[in-house]
Structure 1
């Protein structure tokens, strides 16, 4: 087998590097705006509502229910914890990204 390479030479002027499109300075549109954490409160309220429904269903059916058992109580407690976390994480910080 004969390994032959094309001996076409290219000058340094022909080889060009370019930045990716997201780093192109000529297309700069302004400072980056961070999203607001207040959006986390909506799922938090939904988790708390579903948790209240799970716990209420368990309380009405009693601990000896056939279709409703302790799993529904544990799901309600877990959803309440997650909902509380979302409400705490969605607290309005009142800090601008330029001030940080």
Structure 2
């Protein structure tokens, strides 16, 4: 089905192997499409004698949406492996299992890696949550705690 829909390989869930989070900079292309659509509609309002108020509202919405996509399209400089390495350095204990997920913060949707780490001993005695800025690689915040034994 993904082939029929021409889904790019990085978004195709049926592809086996390591998964790489798509770069959020792709939002800029969507923003450009919205802005071009706004220009086309704005140019078409007068010669086609369209109801002005409705189409001006449409142009305004397209400009706002396109502008938002353009300013929130960050390029990921730190990928998942880099975030895991930075979190391992920050944790302060030998890391066993770990997992990273990409989240967003602020109105411009700045990407932040949320990395969950567990100690290498069995069962794990410590865990940590480290948030890494996906643009600069800086540690945004971290939390380390002992795991209570059940």
**Structure 1 stretches (4+) deviating beyond 2 angstroms?**
53-58, 65-68
Out of 78, 85, 93, the position equivalent to 2:61 is 78
Gaps of 5+ in 2: 1-15, 84-150
Render the CA deviation track for 1:43-78: whole Å, top value 9, x for unaligned.
1101001112223334xx29xx85332110010010
Render the CA deviation track for 1:14-61: whole Å, top value 9, x for unaligned.
xxxxxxxxxxxxxx944x311111221111101001112223334xx2
Contact conserved, 1:40 with 1:86, CA < 8 A, in 2? yes
Aligned residues: 68
Q: Flag the structure with higher helix content.
A: 1
Trace 1:18-33 onto structure 2 (pairs within 5 A): 29-30=17-18, 32-33=19-20
- Report which structure shows greater RCO (CA 8 Å, sep ≥6): 1
Q: TM-score, normalised by structure 2?
A: 0.39
- Which one has a bigger Cα radius of gyration? 1
2: CA distance, partners of 1:78 / 1:33: 32
Q: TM-score, normalised by structure 1?
A: 0.55
Gaps of 5+ in 1: 1-27
